[in-house]
A and B are shown apart, each in its own frame.
Chain A
């Protein structure tokens, strides 16, 4: 479903991604781990072209993402993204945060969009917050709204960039629970995370990245219990 070949990304002279090849199949859950600054966010952001790609190709459903002829907005409709800092729209109610894109981009009428939004809010456990503003919510609630907002576009893939890193510890679980539910529903997901428990339990594959290179890739058992690379071992000894 997602195919990445020879992906390089530089910011000026700084080479952040150094030739990544990877393939993600439908309904797979990929957890990306690695030290901070290793290029995990950049990797994720190259998939939906929030960063332009220096070299290499990314295909989603057979369409080359970084092709001048590709309408990137069409691609992004199918690729949901959840950010570490939530990035909810502070001037809109929770309901409007969720319906704005279905209404403006999918041309859904308000009634239908509202019904969809309420259904998604119910799913993330925030049915009573439809008319609240983001500033009235806790971090965990905001992140759950952000997930609902991304789901409202009915994407085929969801990208998560450290969705629980900005949260107080007691709110991490409520967000992870929502993500687990998505896994059970068969969503294709790429999750950058420091939650090793989640990666072990939910990941079909775990991907260890360091200095812009894929160091290790395998099932959670492979990576966590029998890491091949010394770098992986060193990293895991620090975080586990």
Chain B
């Protein structure tokens, strides 16, 4: 017969390391947000590049996206930290630079596909109407296509943010002081595994929960009608609760 011998749980050991966890949260948040913001900008450029008719623009963008979507992020992190940065700069620039760079480059590739699909989903007539009014392609893109495409990109871009937050834990392999790393340190120090990893899991859950709330807010803000007065009321829960 199998007996499962649960250890008595001791969360006090976590408390002793609270600074490490708090620092871990900040590092994870920092890496995620930097990775995401630069990933969106990069994704915009790559996504538009993949829509280009010019081969010398299209192919580099395509191969870039294929590479970063087709190889594991873990491998990319190691390549960048141990090979790329030391080769280019002659020395390591620290885990944060490597981690942020790897997440940005990776996130850019995924966002590129989202942004390309969003732009392509806008009816051809919109670009034609802009061009027929004398707008150069870039102006029509900026004022006509992107504002409409952006709304359609919000849900998948939101998913990408959550995915990136979780995937950022992979930077632990280059000894980044992120959230997961804090758990590993505690586990190593006490040779106990339940408390540190459960704590790590709960903290990630908390972060994804907060991010999900923000994303839902943005989605509602941009969903349905373009008419401001007909947009879904975001704070309506306050009213309905008061009104009964």
Contacts and interface: CB of A to CB of B under 8 A. Distances in A.
B29 to A, nearest CB: 32
B126 A89 contact: yes
B16 interface: no
A105 B226 contact: no
Contact of A87 (B129, B139, B143, B227): B129
The main secondary structure of chain B at its interface with chain A is helix
A100 interface: yes
A63 interface: no
Interface in A85-105: 85, 87-91, 100-101, 104-105
Interface string A45-83: 000101000000000000000000000011011011101
**Interface residues on chain A, size class:** 20 to 34
Contacts of B167: none
Nearest to B225: A135
B132 A104 contact: no
Contacts of A104: 135, 139, 143
Contacts of A50: 128, 131-132
Interface in B132-149: 132-136, 139, 143-144, 147-148
Contact of B227 (A81, A105, A133, A153): A133
A105 B134 contact: yes
Contacts of B123: 85, 87
Contacts of B225: 133, 135
Contact of B226 (A48, A81, A91): A91
B125 interface: yes
Given A74-B134, A135-B225, 19 more contacts: A50-B131, A73-B134, A77-B134, A79-B132, A80-B133, A83-B128, A89-B126, A89-B129, A89-B144, A101-B130, A101-B134, A101-B135, A104-B139, A105-B139, A133-B226, A150-B132, A150-B133, A153-B133, A153-B134
Interface of B: 123, 125-126, 128-136, 139, 143-144, 147-148, 225-227
